[in-house]
Amino acid sequence: MTMKRLVITWALAIGFFGVAAVTEAEQADKPFVNVSATPDSIDLGTASLFTNTFEVPAALTVKVDANCFHGPIMISATKLKHRQGSSISPEHIFVKSPDTSGFVAMAKPVAISKPTIGSHKIVLDLRVKAELLYPAGEYAGTLMLTMMPPT
């Protein structure tokens, strides 16, 4: 191999590694936000006949991984449906986070965080107002987390 070919080969190799490094740096600089919640399902336990409510402390943890400024996270709920057809509406499902003023009904989406920068965790407490007319048994529903654009 002549010296000219060796220099060209090294120049091409440096060029390729330089492009790869720039591409990797560009990908690392791209803003990202990932929201997840644990556990995947929540057991709200058994309602009390005396208090008409049942509170599950720290029932849900929302984990936000982000490298940029992001808007507030909202939570909403569908009806909790019983297999026999009855349901508990979102007006009777309450959520409390460090950024709410106590428990708030999920009749409409509730902001559980403020706009912020970077990664963080949000611990949510849930409460369902159980009335005597709801039959005992399992109910199924969905909690939805939505990230709003930053303002």
Confidence of residue 150 (pLDDT cuts 50, 70, 90): confident
For the entire predicted model, the pTM comes to 0.72
66 and 114, same structural domain? Answer: yes
Relative to beta strand 139-140, strand 80-82 is: antiparallel
40 and 26, same structural domain? Answer: no
76 and 40, same structural domain? Answer: yes
Q: How far apart are CA 88 and CA 146, in angstroms?
A: 22
Output the average pLDDT for the chain.
79
58 and 15, same structural domain? Answer: no
71 and 8, same structural domain? Answer: no
51 and 116, same structural domain? Answer: yes
Least trusted range by pLDDT, from 8-17, 51-60, 96-105, 123-132: 8-17
Please tell me the predicted confidence (pLDDT) of residue 7. Answer: 41
114 and 74, same structural domain? Answer: yes
Residue of 57, 47, 67, 64 whose CA lies nearest to 117? 67
Query: To the nearest 5 percent, what fractions of the chain are helix, strand and coil?
Result: 20, 40, 40
Domain limits for position 133: 33-147
113 and 71, same structural domain? Answer: yes
- Per-residue pLDDT of 45-98, as tens digits, reads 666 556 555 555 558 999 999 999 999 999 999 999 998 888 989 999 999 999
Query: Residue 27: exposed, middle, or buried by beta-carbon count in 10 A (0-12, 13-18, 19+)?
Result: exposed
In total, how many domains does the chain have?
A: 2
133 and 78, same structural domain? Answer: yes
Q: How far apart are CA 80 and CA 131, in angstroms?
A: 13
Residue of higher predicted confidence among 118 and 50: 118
78 and 26, same structural domain? Answer: no
